[in-house]
């Protein structure tokens, strides 16, 4: 029987792209009700890599017990498994090929009625293309970056913000003891949400984000002014994508095998070194890196992930395919996946959070706000 016409009996679930806290809570939120509905659940391993290469494991009720609070993903994940951009090793090096037909073949061989794809913008773009090839897809929005326009929040973001906030609390005490300027580098790629929200929560004095290019002089003046006021330390929270006016983001590495080939990094070191050279103040920098993606999800993320997972299975059963669950206000709704990937959600300079931070004296490194 054509999987499109029969009632939903078997679902596949995968976690794609970079991991984040809350993935296991979503898998649990999908699988537990699915079992109650009498459906069988196939966990696809390592994101789309497993879909292309045919690697999966049956997920039974016992497999999803006790995983609510655990970080990472029991299924594994990858940001190199794009079926439409598949790196294949040859004698002459690596070539990029299209393996989407293999993905479709495995979907059919596994007898799946629907695939629940948990991931960020890259995963949703791939899911959208697979859906155009005939797969039934339901999406769940994940990313610490919080840069998906169609949902008020992605799960994982709150946990990353918690890590930044806690790190800033710790840096405050040592910055204060040594009268230093401490610069922290937060993740977030092209969006500044983690640095902005983490910076506000952790009481940063300067927040630098990609959406608001900074001026070096404004940064130097801000830390010097604080120093003259008797505030002997300053905390700078910089997003990895922050850049000076007229400048570019710092690209650390390019790897064409990845869905997004660019790895960012290095801004905190540069900011710390320039502040030292231009103000004479002692500086140190800390790159938080993957600490922001590891560990247990916050209660907010556990709740959101559970709501997302259970709503995704409802959509699947109602055969509302090609849709992604989304938080709108306090409710979980759904949007078309193609709508979800149409536009990236970036910080607007007039965002309430930017205004609130400015009102309590935070500098965004510019006179323009």
Point out the residue whose Cβ comes nearest to ligand F6P: 187
Cβ distance to ligand F6P smaller for residue 125 or 143: 143
Q: With binding defined as CB under 6 A, does residue 118 bind ligand F6P?
A: no
Q: Which stretch binds ligand F6P (CB under 6 A): 38-46, 165-173, 181-189, 279-287?
A: 181-189
Q: Which stretch binds ligand F6P (CB under 6 A): 130-138, 183-191, 319-327, 347-355?
A: 183-191
CB of 293 to ligand F6P, least distance (A): 5
Q: With binding defined as CB under 6 A, does residue 348 bind ligand F6P?
A: no
Q: Which three-class secondary structure state does DSSP give residue 77?
A: coil
d(CA 306, CA 301): 8
Task: Kindly list the distances between the CA atom of residue 337 and the CA atoms of 140, 224, 237, 343, in Å, as whole numbers in the listed order.
Answer: 10, 48, 33, 11
Q: With binding defined as CB under 6 A, does residue 177 bind ligand F6P?
A: no
d(CA 101, CA 51): 10
Cβ distance to ligand F6P smaller for residue 83 or 192: 192
Asked about 169 being catalytic, the answer comes back as: no
Instruction: Measure CA 311 to chain center.
Output: 20
Q: Which stretch binds ligand F6P (CB under 6 A): 54-62, 182-190, 296-304, 306-314?
A: 182-190
Q: With binding defined as CB under 6 A, does residue 184 bind ligand F6P?
A: no
CB of 212 to ligand F6P, least distance (A): 18
Site for ligand F6P in 300-339 (CB under 6 A): none
Size of the site for ligand F6P (CB under 6 A): 13
Its sign, for the CA torsion 222, 226, 232, 238, is negative
Cβ distance to ligand F6P smaller for residue 23 or 187: 187
Site for ligand F6P in 120-159 (CB under 6 A): 120, 143-145
Question: Site map for ligand F6P, 186-205, x if CB under 6 A?
Answer: -xxx----------------
**Cβ atoms of residues 313 and 116 within 8 Å:** yes
Site for ligand F6P in 12-71 (CB under 6 A): 18
CB of 336 to ligand F6P, least distance (A): 22
Estimate the share of the chain in helix, then strand, then coil, as percent rounded to the nearest 5. Answer: 35, 20, 40
For the record, the structure tokens of 35 come out as 């079992």
Cβ distance to ligand F6P smaller for residue 79 or 131: 79
**Residue of 113, 145, 158, 205 with catalytic role:** 145
Q: Is 46 left (phi over 0), alpha (psi -120 to 50) or beta?
A: left
Q: Which three-class secondary structure state does DSSP give residue 241?
A: coil
Cβ distance to ligand F6P smaller for residue 43 or 156: 156
Q: With binding defined as CB under 6 A, does residue 79 bind ligand F6P?
A: yes
What strands, in cross-sheet order, belong to the sheet with 181-186?
A: 206-208, 234-239, 181-186, 283-287
CB of 345 to ligand F6P, least distance (A): 13
Task: Kindly list the distances between the CA atom of residue 221 and the CA atoms of 215, 226, 293, 360, 369, in Å, as whole numbers in the listed order.
Answer: 10, 9, 33, 17, 16
Cβ distance to ligand F6P smaller for residue 12 or 119: 119
Q: Which three-class secondary structure state does DSSP give residue 253?
A: strand
Cβ distance to ligand F6P smaller for residue 222 or 293: 293
**Cβ atoms of residues 71 and 102 within 8 Å:** no
Q: Which residue in 16, 39, 1, 4 sits closest to 314, CA to CA?
A: 39
Cβ distance to ligand F6P smaller for residue 187 or 347: 187
Task: Kindly list the distances between the CA atom of residue 277 and the CA atoms of 209, 221, 225, 283, 297, in Å, as whole numbers in the listed order.
Answer: 22, 13, 16, 10, 39
Count the neighbouring beta carbons within 10 Å of the beta carbon of residue 172.
16
Q: With binding defined as CB under 6 A, does residue 264 bind ligand F6P?
A: yes
- Among 129, 180, 222, 293, the residue binding ligand F6P under the rule CB under 6 A is 293
CB of 181 to ligand F6P, least distance (A): 24
What are the catalytic residues? 145
Contact positions vs ligand F6P (CB under 6 A): 18, 79, 120, 143-145, 187-189, 240, 263-264, 293
């Amino acid at each position: 029987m054509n999987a499109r016409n029969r009632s939903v009996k078997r679902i596949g679930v995968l976690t794609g792209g970079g991991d984040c806290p809350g993935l296991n809570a979503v898998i649990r939120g999908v699988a537990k009700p699915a079992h109650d509905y009498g459906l069988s659940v196939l966990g696809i391993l390592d994101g789309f890599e497993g879909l292309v290469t045919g690697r999966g494991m049956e997920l039974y009720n016992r497999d999803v017990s006790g995983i609510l609070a655990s970080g990472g993903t029991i299924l594994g994940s990858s940001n190199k498994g794009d079926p439409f951009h598949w790196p294949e090793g040859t004698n002459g090096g690596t070539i990029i090929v299209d393996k989407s037909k293999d993905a479709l073949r495995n979907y059919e061989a596994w007898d799946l009625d629907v695939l629940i794809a948990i991931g960020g913008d890259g995963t949703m773009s791939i899911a959208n293309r697979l859906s155009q090839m005939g797969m039934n897809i339901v999406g769940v929005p994940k990313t610490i970056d919080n840069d998906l326009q169609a949902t008020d929040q992605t799960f994982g973001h709150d946990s990353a913000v918690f890590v930044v906030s806690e790190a800033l609390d710790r840096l405050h005490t040592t910055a204060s003891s040594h009268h230093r300027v401490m610069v922290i580098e937060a993740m977030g790629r092209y969006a500044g949400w983690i640095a902005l929200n983490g910076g506000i929560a952790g009481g940063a004095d300067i927040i630098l984000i990609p959406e608001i290019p900074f001026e070096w002089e404004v940064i130097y003046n801000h830390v010097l002014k604080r120093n003259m006021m008797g505030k002997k330390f300053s905390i700078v929270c910089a997003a990895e994508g922050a850049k000076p006016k007229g400048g570019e983001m710092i690209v650390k590495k390019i790897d064409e095998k990845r869905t997004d080939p660019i790895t960012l990094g290095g801004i905190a070191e540069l900011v710390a070194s320039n502040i030292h050279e231009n103000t004479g103040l002692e500086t140190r920098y800390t790159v938080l890196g993957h600490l922001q993606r590891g560990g247990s999800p916050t209660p907010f993320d556990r709740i959101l992930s559970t709501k997302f997972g259970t709503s995704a299975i409802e959509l699947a059963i109602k055969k509302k395919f090609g849709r992604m669950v989304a938080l709108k206000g306090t409710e979980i709704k759904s949007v078309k996946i193609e709508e979800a990937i149409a536009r990236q959600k970036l910080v607007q300079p007039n965002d309430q959070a930017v205004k609130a931070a400015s009102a309590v004296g935070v500098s965004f490194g510019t006179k323009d706000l």
